[in-house]
Copies of this chain bind each other. A is one copy, B any other.
């Protein structure tokens, strides 16, 4: 069974405030990782508190990744270190914030959703990013992400990542998130294609469940992807000095990727809708076929049963009963009637 689940538990450990739902401090430890790098060197370390989460000195780049936004105080302290506005902090802490890019001169706050295909269904996780002139701070809801290859590129110095600025790192991170959307979409496409072929010939109620869940997931995916499209478009056309000319072309490339995601969502949605229509039509066709069988049988045998019922009556004075031709006549009538009926139904294409 497929299911859309977010990691928020219903009602428990969640504070409802004017800003939506805040994710509360959880037992699990928050994990902070700091990457310091420039074209020639790099350093990676895990820290415990918000004290070391500060902007780097000029000439080097810093990527701070924080797994766990449940620790409200920690997030607020880190944000204070980077002089982030209180409303932006609220957006980071609230994991239902709509994807968007907020440009406030000193930094750009980018909020996106990461999608994971875990056992019971799709998991939506919020990724918040503070993009400054030479640093990036990323906030995730939990440990585990799709940024492994990017970390490796920093570690090994392969590619242009270490040579380029923080905006290029932001591009790489967004790109990794968007590319991961295709994995979800491919799995959905396979699911509907499994059903599609059988739906005309052998429609089964389980297909209804799958189609319903697919439709529901698409509704949520749209909510995640449409604003992401605006987000990337905003970044690409933004005139912020934080995004260099050379990075704009890469953002434009992501933009085309997201459009393809949107296209694919619409295609899957249309196919699911069409399949549901075909399913309904198939059921009607099947019911019609069942009805025909019933009607053929009933139309042939119910009148004949009446006929033989007549001669099953116990009236004293029924002259036909004593005649030798009585029984063969009735049998003859029965067979003639049945054959006539069958011919009629054959002509009406009921058989």
User: A303 contacts the other chain (Cβ, under 8 Å)?
Assistant: yes
Contact with B along A293-329 (1 / 0, CB 8 A): 1110111111111101111111111101111101100
Q: Determine how close the nearest CB of chain B comes to the CB of A105; give it in whole angstroms.
A: 12
A244-297, CB < 8 A from B: 249-250, 253, 256-257, 259-260, 263, 267, 270-271, 274-288, 290-295, 297
CB of A283 within 8 A of CB of B293, answer no
Of B18, B87, B327, which is within 8 A of A176 by CB? B18
Comparing A53-61, A123-131, A162-170, A212-220, the segment that makes contact with chain B is A212-220
User: A100 contacts the other chain (Cβ, under 8 Å)?
Assistant: yes
Of B97, B215, B257, B288, which is within 8 A of A290 by CB? B288
Residues of B with C-beta under 8 A to A310: 308, 330-331, 334
CB of A278 within 8 A of CB of B308, answer no
How many copies of this chain are found per oligomer?
A: 5
A7-48, CB < 8 A from B: 18-20
Q: How far is the CA of A317 from the CA of B302 in the complex (A)?
A: 24
Q: Determine how close the nearest CB of chain B comes to the CB of A14; give it in whole angstroms.
A: 12
CB of B291 within 8 A of CB of A302, answer no
CB of B202 within 8 A of CB of A285, answer no
Of B220, B284, B303, which is within 8 A of A284 by CB? B284
Of B276, B281, B314, which is within 8 A of A313 by CB? B314
Residues of B with C-beta under 8 A to A292: 290
CB of A18 within 8 A of CB of B294, answer no
CB of A87 within 8 A of CB of B277, answer no
User: A175 contacts the other chain (Cβ, under 8 Å)?
Assistant: yes
Q: How far is the CA of A313 from the CA of B98 in the complex (A)?
A: 77
| Majority secondary structure of chain A interface residues (helix, strand, loop or mixed) | helix
Interface size, chain A (Cβ < 8 Å): 93
Q: Determine how close the nearest CB of chain B comes to the CB of A132; give it in whole angstroms.
A: 19
CB of B182 within 8 A of CB of A20, answer yes
Residues of B with C-beta under 8 A to A260: 20, 96, 98
CB of B315 within 8 A of CB of A313, answer no
CB of B295 within 8 A of CB of A305, answer no
Residues of B with C-beta under 8 A to A313: 308, 311-312, 314, 321, 327, 330
CB of B285 within 8 A of CB of A284, answer no
Contact with B along A196-226 (1 / 0, CB 8 A): 1001101101001101100110011001000
Closest to A300 in B: B303
Residues of B with C-beta under 8 A to A175: 18
Known A-B contacts A215-B274, A309-B312; the reply to A100 vs B303 at CB < 8 A is no
Residues of B with C-beta under 8 A to A73: none
Q: Determine how close the nearest CB of chain B comes to the CB of A335; give it in whole angstroms.
A: 11
Q: How far is the CA of A285 from the CA of B288 in the complex (A)?
A: 10
Q: How far is the CA of A100 from the CA of B260 in the complex (A)?
A: 12
User: A349 contacts the other chain (Cβ, under 8 Å)?
Assistant: yes
Closest 4 CB pairs of A and B: A308-B309, A311-B313, A294-B295, A312-B312
Additional pairs, 17, CB under 8 Å, beyond known A212-B278, A301-B305 = A18-B179, A85-B249, A205-B282, A212-B274, A212-B275, A219-B267, A219-B270, A280-B281, A284-B287, A291-B294, A295-B297, A308-B310, A311-B313, A312-B314, A313-B314, A315-B320, A315-B327
